[in-house]
A and B are shown apart, each in its own frame.
Chain A
């Protein structure tokens, strides 16, 4: 035993205790801020955090979370907050908090400093796509395909001739190249059919089979020899049948490919037409396009943000819930991979039973809310994570947000409802579209959004109605004819009604938008620029058609004739083969019956001979 060592340890323990009193709060504050900032994507700041190891208590004077989209504003702030950790679970490395009361919660307040953080570039882990990530990808792809219209251009006369001059059609070249490729393939088949001697082989066999006349063979030995040669012929026919079958399967694949290429040609022609329209900057004014143009970007943006957040929560919950062994990762050196075990234990790894919120927004709405069971493993406590946040104002404006994350059963389920009534819309931007004014000046809106995720399906609906609207324009008077027209339209409408619906499954995502402005805008835009556009589209379409039709017809004719020829050739061989098979079978049967006949005859002769001799013995 080393006494100096014991003294050293005692001194060290005292030192650690003192340092803990002095530095833990600062250290913990930094750690929490850093983890929070990384999760939110903007600064999370705590003020005067105090952690008592002996009392197992934590408190802070204020919390502010910057809005990652506008880092000069806070998305959330709160006043004094304090809570206690449960002692027993802490020994098991489980963090359980009974109740957190967050008072003076506000949202949308200005910041004195910028809340932007420098994000570390993380190497993204390759994760298996799930229904949520697939839906996000498909929605983003659809948003990227949304039409981009330059309205200022549409009033002008379209110079189709200049576009046609510079138009480089790609389909004739592609058709030509495909034709060369298929011609080479057809040549291969021509040479194959010329080289094979199936016809000769089968005809030769036919002559050999015909030469066999079972009735003329009188001995059993002779019949059996004939049967054996028929059997050999049968084997030969079977072997030819094998060759013909495998050749037919390759030929069928080639024929299928040829037929598929006809569809490709149509796609190439469509592509050429689309490119020509793009060059001419000619829009297709449809109701669906209009809705996507007006609101698509904004709605998709918000939907994908919400879905991404749900995906993070679902993935994290699954990691804790799964009782299947986790896949081996490649963690950084000396960090390792932590394996979580699902056990019938009393406490989950992390559990905040209640978080009570109270405060107000900058728009004067008083907020009240409750988050229940923020927990790492719901199955242990047998309850889902749920939240409700309500905000009200004296003039009737109200917001209610309800949500539930349910990971109790095999299928993860999430459900959210957002209801907003009589919400003031001053300074709200509805869309990034150039058709709509930058911001709303006055008006109020009602919103109802539901989002349901259950296993491998996503369903969402939104109904937004804004009324008594007036808009803030960048310039007091309209400079262009189109602006003037749109202003007139919006003034006459004075309301916006937008419906969005989303349905997504493993295989497809259906996303639709409808608004009362779609028809109005289409009608007016068509009236303004429509005639010119319709004419130009028709000219381009007929030009593309003229240029491509010749190649297309030639190609189609080649594919059709060659396909037909090859199929006929093959069918000829098959027919011949089948008739030979039938012939061989018949001959085989004849020989077998002749053998049977000769056997019976021989037996009778033997019997007669035996009887004759027995009679001789009796005399």
Chain B
């Protein structure tokens, strides 16, 4: 159910009228929330950005779901990176002292290895992922979509009662 829902949602989002940039912003902002530990100050900011600006919320949700799984797998890497940045690189020490003592910023938990490691990875990936997603959406719409629509699995999903029911429920929710 989850995979069908995810696939159909993805196809629906890709075929929507929203611009590739809106979809790409939704994707990268969802990625930040997904990769980093959820209850953190920076995620509140990302949530505001998603809500206030015209980015695709469905894409952000989708990306959040996917990257949460990645985050779980990559956790040791985030921890090691965060530890190295916080402890091993002496020249960065004043920066961490600043972030952990500055009012409000101190609540961002940047002295936590996983928070810092995952946030740094997210920020490094932000622009490359944005441009990649934008390019990929264009490519999909121009060339791939026609072929995808012919896939049996897509037709099966679209033709199934389950999909019909899902469509109805989705429409009710909109």
Instruction: List the interface of chain A (C-beta within 8 A of B).
Output: 1-2, 5-6, 8-9, 88, 91-94, 325-326, 328, 331, 333-341, 343, 345
Contact = CB atoms under 8 A, between A and B. Distances in A.
Secondary structure type dominating chain A contacts: loop
Interface stretch (B79-87, B120-128, B135-143, B156-164): B79-87
Nearest to A333: B75
Interface string B24-62: 000000000000010000000000101111100000000
Contacts of B79: 331, 336-337
Given A331-B114, A333-B72, A334-B75, 16 more contacts: A2-B51, A2-B53, A6-B52, A8-B51, A9-B48, A88-B103, A92-B103, A92-B106, A331-B113, A334-B71, A335-B114, A336-B79, A338-B112, A338-B113, A339-B112, A339-B113
A337 B113 contact: yes
B8 interface: no
A1 B114 contact: no
Nearest to A340: B111
B93 A341 contact: yes
Contacts of A331: 79, 113-114
Interface in B96-128: 96-97, 100-104, 106-107, 109, 111-115, 117
Given A331-B113, A339-B87, A341-B96, A92 B102 contact: yes
B100 A341 contact: yes
A334 B52 contact: no
B147 to A, nearest CB: 33
Contacts of A92: 101-103, 106
> In the complex, which range does the number of interface residues on chain B fall in?
35 or more
Interface string B64-99: 000000011001001110110011100001001100
A331 to B, nearest CB: 7
Contacts of A5: 50-53
A328 B75 CA distance: 14
Contacts of A6: 51-52
B160 to A, nearest CB: 32
B52 A1 contact: yes
Secondary structure type dominating chain B contacts: helix
Contacts of A343: 97, 100-101
Contacts of A333: 72, 75
Given A1-B53, A9-B51, A325-B87, A336 B103 contact: no
A9 B49 CA distance: 11
Given A88-B103, A92-B102, A328-B83, A339 B53 contact: no
A334 B72 CA distance: 7
B83 to A, nearest CB: 5
A5 B54 CA distance: 9
A465 B82 CA distance: 58
The 8 closest A-B pairs by CB, nearest first: A336-B114, A91-B103, A5-B51, A93-B106, A325-B87, A336-B112, A336-B113, A339-B86
Given A92-B106, A328-B83, A334 B100 contact: no
A322 to B, nearest CB: 12
A339 B96 contact: yes
Contacts of B86: 339
A242 to B, nearest CB: 47
B42 to A, nearest CB: 14
A336 B72 CA distance: 12
B142 to A, nearest CB: 27
B98 to A, nearest CB: 9
A338 B111 contact: yes
